[in-house]
Amino acid sequence: MSSALKADSEIVLEALSVNHDELMIFETEKFEPIDRDPALRRKISSDADRSYLINQGPFQPKLSRYPRNDEIELGKHCYFSSDWYRSFPHLEYSISKDACFCFVCQIFQDEVGHQKADEAWTSRGVRAWHKMKSRGKAKT
Ligand SMILES: [Zn+2]
């Protein structure tokens, strides 16, 4: 082996062992992706969770039908509508709980000024579909 090749391979081996150490550090700080469904996700308290969710964006599943909320009296709007995502870009819908949440309030509920975020929009969820109002253009 030429001395140049030997020097090169030592550099490569050194780089590999450094990477290997970084890998080990990463493994000890195992990141469990937070659940995207706002009713199932753990309380957001780490920056890792926050940046993961911000990258994913609000959870806005579009279903062909949403369940009827039997607590709402007959004749009133009684189920979630995916049209509301356009009026309220931070709105999230939980399939598991049939309830909606506010993405921004959930992410920043621990931040200064957000401690008073309404629990209805962060942990309980809102199901009063008859009280939701669409902003913007009327439906055609
Ligand atoms: Zn909010």
On the question of pLDDT at 19 being above 70, the answer is no
Question: What is the gyration radius of the CA atoms in the chain, in angstroms?
Answer: 24
Any bridge partners for residue 126, and if so which?
Answer: 100
* 122 C-alpha to ligand 1 centroid (Å): 8
Predicted confidence at residue 140, as pLDDT, reads 40
Give me the residue spans of the domains in the chain. 1-30, 47-131
Annotate 55-81 with DSSP letters as a single string. HH-------S---B-TTSPTTS--B--
On the question of pLDDT at 90 being above 90, the answer is yes
* 26 C-alpha to ligand 1 centroid (Å): 33
* 25 C-alpha to ligand 1 centroid (Å): 36
* 2 C-alpha to ligand 1 centroid (Å): 65
pLDDT tens digits, 33-66: 899 999 999 988 888 899 999 999 999 999 999 9
pTM greater than the 0.85 cutoff? no
